[in-house]
Amino acid sequence: MSQTNAIEVKNLVKTYGDVYALKNVDLNIADGEYFVLLGPSGGGKTTLLRSIGGFIRPDSGSVDIKGKNVDNLPPDKRPTSMVFQGFALFPHMSVSENIGYGLKIQSIENNIIENKVSRMMDLVGLTGFSKRKPHELSGGQQQRVQLARALILENDVLLLDEPLSALDAQLRKDMCIELKRLQKTVGISFVHVTHNQEEAMSVADRIAIIADGEMIEQGTPKEIYSNPKKKFTAEFIGEKNIFNGKVLDVNKSTILVDIESDKIEVANKNYKISKNQGVSLSIKSESIKVDKVKVSKQPQENKVIKGKITEITFLGQFVRYLVLLNNNQEIQVRSHDEVSNINVNDDVMLSWRLEDFLVHEG
């Protein structure tokens, strides 16, 4: 990955009436990077993508592509191509006509177009489909045609607006692998909008979480998944065990947080927080261990809290326990093996490693 920026978005604002679709969004996307804009529907990610593509004119702020300001350029004059949501093909044209149309209108010679089209069709895995009409193709194949139609123009950036949302789950997984492979092959930046975190994790070099028109946080898939900075991110990527609390004490290695009924000590990973600040904590359900309370063994300080089993569900690979804590909040525990002799309504002890609990702002 080189250091130059393919896309630089500065202070972008877009309103619809009183509603902010984008609130002062800044974003840098590197050359050759697979960047995913992830967030809930209506959060502004598509507005951001369309502003980059030139389909939406923002109220203020600027967009630079490859170091050149493109604020006043229409979509076709920007070095971007777009893959649209749904199956946005010309219904009356064959696969090869669809792919070659962008070149045809530039009055490029037919044999050059034919060559490029057939190379593109090989690249996206549509060899032999050139005469088919869109309605004779499956959903996945139609999206491949869209990809080829966009990539054939050899622009610097490919914008993908929920490209896989109309596909079923299995096909979506396969297409994710293909998209990533395709991006590595052509080497340009891809900007991909999705609300599906699994899809985002599997394709992205970097992810930006966008909600309510704001950039919540950015990071690699690993950072976003295992160390989300914001509570919203933790919730959005599917964390079930989130607790609100107040910081009681901060020292170099640990932080003590009060979650009403219990005090939880967590490892301090250079968090920028201070005493009495409201924070939230989260822990992955597979990082908690559940044990039967034994009279002889007193619970160790802090790392262990007590609870009561309310539900045990067998989920194939996992057994899921729902445990009611003293503050009446439920916590989810997922364990690979069933813990013996635990039944609903039993009192249990929950334990974890200090560093498994994460602290989030807000």
Partner 1 sequence: MVIFFVLPLMLTVVWSVFERTMFWMEPAFTLFSYENFFFSSRLENFISSMLHSSISVVCAFFIGFPIAIFIRRRVKKVAQHRVMLLFILPFMVSEIIRIFALRPILSRNGVVNSFLMDLNLIDTPFSVFVFTPTGVVIGEIVSFLPFMIFSTFLALEAIPNYIFEVCSDLGVNRRRMFKDILLPLAAPGLFAGSVFIFVNGIGIALIPTILGGPGSVNAGLIATQAIIALDFPLAMAVSAIMMFTLMGLLYLGHKLFDLTKLLEPIS
Contacts with partner 1 by CB under 8 A lie at 53, 55, 74-77, 81-82, 84-86, 88, 90-92, 101-102, 105-106, 134-135, 149-150, 153
> In the complex, what is the shortest distance from the CB of residue 35 to partner 1, in angstroms, rounded to a whole number?
19
CA distance linking residue 176 with residue 162, whole number of Å: 12
> In the complex, what is the shortest distance from the CB of residue 150 to partner 1, in angstroms, rounded to a whole number?
8
- DSSP structural state of residue 204: -
User: Is the Cβ of residue 105 or residue 315 nearer to partner 1 in the bound state?
Assistant: 105
> In the complex, what is the shortest distance from the CB of residue 148 to partner 1, in angstroms, rounded to a whole number?
13
Q: Tokens 């037919």 identify what position?
A: 110
User: Is the Cβ of residue 90 or residue 311 nearer to partner 1 in the bound state?
Assistant: 90
User: Is the Cβ of residue 147 or residue 348 nearer to partner 1 in the bound state?
Assistant: 147
> In the complex, what is the shortest distance from the CB of residue 275 to partner 1, in angstroms, rounded to a whole number?
53
Beta partners for residue 291, in sequence order: 349
> In the complex, what is the shortest distance from the CB of residue 134 to partner 1, in angstroms, rounded to a whole number?
7
> In the complex, what is the shortest distance from the CB of residue 104 to partner 1, in angstroms, rounded to a whole number?
8
User: Is the Cβ of residue 5 or residue 98 nearer to partner 1 in the bound state?
Assistant: 98
Nearest to 1 by CA among 20, 22, 29: 29
User: Is the Cβ of residue 17 or residue 316 nearer to partner 1 in the bound state?
Assistant: 17
User: Is the Cβ of residue 189 or residue 241 nearer to partner 1 in the bound state?
Assistant: 189
Helices (H), the chain: 45-53, 95-104, 110-123, 139-151, 169-186, 197-203, 221-226, 231-236
Residues whose CB falls within 8 Å of the CB of residue 207, separated by 6 or more in sequence, listed in order: 35, 36, 38, 200, 201, 218, 219, 220, 221, 224
CA distance linking residue 22 with residue 65, whole number of Å: 19
Give the C-alpha distances (Å, rounded to integers) separating 65 from 5, 32, 69: 8, 13, 6
